[in-house]
A = this chain, B = another copy of it.
Amino acid sequence: MLSQQVKDYLQANRQRHLEELLPLLRIASVSSQPACQPACRQCAELLAGQLGQLGFDAQLRPWRDHPLVLARRAADRQGAPTVLLYGHYDVQPPEPLELWQSPPFEPVVREGKIFTRGASDDKGQLFAMLKAVEALQACDRPLPNLIVLLEGEEEIGSPDLERFLTGARRELAADYAIICDSAFFAPGLPSLTYGLRGLVYVEIAMRGPAADLHSGTHGGAAPNPLNAMVALLAALQDAQGRVTLPGFYDAVVPLTLQERQAWRKLPFDPQAYAALLGTQPTGGERGVDLLERRWARPTLDFHGIVGGYQGPGAKTVIPAAVSAKVSCRLVANQQAGQVVKSFRQFVAAHTPPGIRSEIQVLSESLPVLVPLDSPAMAAAAGALYEAFGRKAVFVREGASVPISELFQRILGIQPVLMGFGLPDDNLHSPNEKLELEQYYGGIVAVAAVLSNLAGKDSLAGKRG
């Protein structure tokens, strides 16, 4: 429970908390654009400065193109647990600029929403964590040991972050991890994301003739690697939309009755979803519920096939080589390494005479499935109730959130995803916004969860 004093403090400081967010939003920290490198550094420095003012030992860690911000603050109490807070200060490119109603890096409040690139993803959410710490400190409330990790390359896929975490494993040892970089399932409905899908993304290459050949002169004799590729890919999925890799589904954790019932109560409208897609949601496995297919079942998707002729009109070419980009989303407890191994065997077994094949793994991440009944989840659910006055729903997400999987796999911490954006925040689109009530509520929620966790004992002794 958050003390009335902290609640009053937060209520009284709303305007200042908004104003202090603006300088951060004005910095064009687009990690994918090399010209923004100074802006990214400026962002990291600003945040390290603010953390310093809150009593953190804050450092910039140079890492690839944009520095990581790493800050620690010890609790007063011996034996207090350690909480790792994560956010990212880099943002998506603002383009296409002409679709913005106001310039993307000039934050403007209209109708209770603040519009800028990065408002919801993720500057507003990460700044709320800092303001929550400020409030507890100002009101002399106990805090846990805190580690803050702010990343500057999330929007370019956190390249090489795994290596950083592996190297900093001891430094980052924590009991709990809180990630504010997600959204409510629906307006007014606070949400805790307890499941994320993993990913195996491979590129399969096939070579046939030494050079592109004329399909008239050599058709029927020269083995066509695109024909072979199509046969291989088609064999990966059956008529029911199930993946045919041997043992693929063996480790899949089935949906519990409880989950199934809870999901049926979510305000999810299949009609509206079909309208969003622009077609019927007929992908994936036949006869499986829609949300289950998106959240709790693995998938197979082909993303593109390179090679041959792709210009306008006809060219009668037998390509020398082609490659296909293929991925599977994974769910708990599928092992990415095992799926990669199955892919390798499958490709070798489906390479016909006259064709050579190879497979390259482009991306590999584990699914995340956090227990619903953990103390951290209970603390987060209580905090969201305090902040937003409504019981949180437990949801999953079909995409991967790489940092969650890395926290789980490298640091051994089950992350709590308690973001407070809304589904219509236009995260990667023009006119990104964050609703002010979500921002203020988010500060309350983080303050509450930190208060809740501060009273627990460190699990450090129990960790291996």
Contact = CB atoms under 8 A, between A and B. Distances in A.
A219 interface: yes
A327 B302 CA distance: 22
Nearest to A235: B234
A25 B295 CA distance: 68
A304 to B, nearest CB: 3
B213 A277 contact: yes
A207 B224 CA distance: 26
Contacts of A142: none
Most buried by B among A217, A235, A304, A399: A304
Nearest to A296: B220
Interface in A269-297: 273, 277-285, 290, 293-294, 297
Contacts of A203: 314
A283 B214 CA distance: 13
Interface stretch (A7-15, A84-92, A347-355): A347-355
Given A221-B281, A233-B230, A303 B215 contact: yes
Contact of A314 (B230, B231, B300, B362): B362
A319 B325 CA distance: 12
Chain A interface bracket (under 10, 10 to 19, 20 to 34, 35 or more): 35 or more
A224 B277 CA distance: 11
A354 B282 contact: yes
A313 interface: yes
B221 A354 contact: no
B354 A280 contact: yes
A128 B199 CA distance: 65
A303 B309 contact: yes
A257 interface: no
Given A231-B234, A231-B237, A355 B302 contact: no
Interface string A209-240: 11101111111111110110011011101000
Contacts of A285: 220
A308 B305 contact: yes
Given A201-B314, A282-B354, A314-B201, A220 B299 contact: yes
B353 A282 contact: yes
A294 B314 CA distance: 20
A303 B322 CA distance: 10
B399 A281 contact: no
A77 B353 CA distance: 61
Given A216-B399, A234-B234, A223 B329 contact: no
Contacts of A345: none
A208 interface: yes
A433 interface: no
A310 B310 contact: yes
A306 B307 CA distance: 9
A354 B283 CA distance: 8
List the 9 closest A-B pairs by CB distance, nearest first: A210-B278, A216-B399, A234-B234, A304-B308, A282-B354, A220-B284, A220-B293, A314-B362, A219-B299
Given A218-B277, A221-B281, A304-B315, 14 more contacts: A210-B279, A215-B301, A215-B329, A219-B329, A220-B299, A221-B290, A221-B293, A222-B279, A227-B300, A230-B233, A230-B234, A281-B354, A282-B355, A316-B327
17 contacts: A207-B279, A209-B278, A220-B293, A220-B298, A221-B273, A221-B294, A223-B279, A223-B281, A223-B282, A281-B354, A282-B353, A303-B318, A303-B319, A304-B307, A306-B310, A314-B363, A316-B327
Interface of A: 197, 199, 201, 203, 207-211, 213-224, 226-227, 230-231, 233-235, 237, 273, 277-285, 290, 293-294, 297-310, 313-320, 325, 327, 329, 352-356, 362-363, 397-400
